[in-house]
Amino acid sequence: MSLHSLTRRLAAVCETAAAAIFAAVCLLNFIQVVGRYAAGSSLNWAEEVMRYSMLWVMMLGGTAAIQRGDHMAVDTLLDALSPRGAHLLRSLLFGIAGIFAALLVWYGWPAALNNARQSAAASGLPMIVPYMALPVGGALMLVQIVLCWLTGFGETRHEEEAY
C-alpha cells in the first residue's frame, strides 16, 4: 500500500466515523425535540451525550480535513512565493500543526486517565470517553500530518474549488 492510499484511507475512516457520530447526534437531537414538544418530556441525558459526541466529530473530522487541505487558511503568501518558498513555508506550517497535535496527545492522555473514574452527571457516561477524544484525535492528526508531509502535503484544493 502506498503512502498516498494510506493517507486517503485514514481520512476516509475518520470521515466516516465522524459522519456516523454526527448522524447519531442529529437523530438524538430530533428525538429530544419531538419528545419535548410532542410528548412533554425529554431525555435528561441527551444534551450531555450530544455535547461529548461533538468532540469526537471535531477531532475525527479535523484528521480528514488535513488530508484534503480543508482547514481554514490564508494562502495569499503561499501563492506569492516561489514553489520552493511555498514548499518550505508549508513544511513549517505542517511542523507547527504537528507540534500542536503532539501536545494534544501529551496533555490529553493524562487528562483522560485522571478522569477515568468519573461519570457524567446526567448520562452516567464514563468521562474517559469524551476526554479520550483529545489524545486519540491528536494522534490521528499527527499520523495524518506526517503522512501528508511525506507525500508532498496531500491533496491541496484548487482555487476554483474553494468558491
Residue range 9-26, pLDDT digits in tens:
999 999 999 999 999 999
Residue holding cell 457520530?
21
Q: Where are the alpha helices (DSSP H) in 69-122?
A: 76-80, 83-114
The beta strands (E) that lie in 62-162 are given as: none
Summarize pLDDT for 105-155 with one digit per residue, the tens.
999 999 999 998 999 888 889 999 999 999 999 999 999 999 988 888 654
**Nearest residue to 90 (alpha-carbon basis) of 101, 81, 103, 99:** 81
Residue 76: per-residue pLDDT: 80
Distance of alpha carbon 2 from its chain centroid, rounded?
Answer: 23
Beta bridge partners of 126: 119
Q: Is 109 helix (H, G, I), strand (E, B) or coil?
A: helix
Is the pLDDT higher at 158 or at 31?
Answer: 31
- Whether 156 has a pLDDT exceeding 60, the answer reads no
Cβ neighbours around 108 below 10 Å, total: 20
Residue 7: per-residue pLDDT: 87
The residues, ordered by sequence, that sit 6+ positions from 128 with a Cβ below 8 Å of its Cβ are: 112, 113, 115, 116
Confidence of residue 160 (pLDDT cuts 50, 70, 90): very low
Beta bridge partners of 119: 126
Residue 33: per-residue pLDDT: 92
Residue 31: per-residue pLDDT: 93
Average pLDDT (77-81) is 82
The mean of the pLDDT values for the chain is 88
Q: What predicted TM-score, i.e. pTM, was given to this entire model?
A: 0.84
Residue 161: per-residue pLDDT: 47
What does DSSP assign to residue 153? Answer: S
- Whether 75 has a pLDDT exceeding 80, the answer reads no
Cβ neighbours around 92 below 10 Å, total: 10
Residue 163: per-residue pLDDT: 42
